[in-house]
Chains A and B, each alone.
Chain A
Amino acid sequence: EDQVTQSPEALRLQEGESSSLNCSYTVSGLRGLFWYRQDPGKGPEFLFTLYSAGEEKEKERLKATLTKKESFLHITAPKPEDSATYLCAAGAAGNKLTFGGGTRVLVKP
């Protein structure tokens, strides 16, 4: 059975304190690894797609990387507006995403 696990469940950071979020996956026939940001009361907002091991994508203070078993979302010098839940999801054959449980990030000024 396909499985995606995110850690930690929650992360409290001071503004400017860089950190990394982990997403480990066991998925048959991975077609893509997706990162989303979700704010309270909103739907997930697409951030990145990673397709193959070694790939990296960057957007502002966020950088996502992918290995054969894990993906990392690095947050560099975070700001309070980076506070959100970050979701990792694996896409496999059948056009279906398997989501992890998310990491709630709180950045304090």
Chain B
Amino acid sequence: GEEVAQTPKHLVRGEGQKAKLYCAPIKGHSYVFWYQQVLKNEFKFLISFQNENVFDETGMPKERFSAKCLPNSPCSLEIQATKLEDSAVYFCASSRPGTGGWSPLHFGNGTRLTVT
């Protein structure tokens, strides 16, 4: 597709429950990124993929967060045993392979996760 598609739009989980978010990148884009947006527009990088391979996972809280991008499937971000501080909007973005410079990231409209 021509847009990054994220599902669901909203997700409510009780503390300790699992949350799973999905992202379909733009067709032809080989990079996928996950960002967490909390208060005051703060964007925190979580993880990036080049095709199905993890490219950079330096932002991932290793204990409870995991992500995958498998061939012919939407990418996913999973949070085991959610905590109140996981409440945020999670954005997925994709980009084309760069040709000497950076290709811009194109963002989906996010999944708002509320942990109660």
Give A residues with C-beta under 8 Å from B.
31-32, 34, 36, 38, 41-46, 49, 51, 85, 87, 89, 91, 94-99, 101-102
Contact = CB atoms under 8 A, between A and B. Distances in A.
14 contacts: A42-B110, A43-B4, A43-B107, A43-B109, A44-B91, A46-B106, A94-B56, A95-B31, A95-B56, A96-B48, A97-B33, A97-B43, A101-B42, A102-B41
B41 A85 contact: yes
Contact of A96 (B40, B56, B101): B56
Contacts of A94: 56, 58
Nearest to A99: B43
Contacts of A31: 101-102
Nearest to A32: B102
Majority-rule SS of A interface residues: strand
Interface residues of B, number: 25
A51 B101 contact: yes
Given A95-B48, A96-B58, A102-B41, 7 more contacts: A38-B41, A43-B93, A43-B109, A46-B104, A49-B104, A87-B41, A96-B45
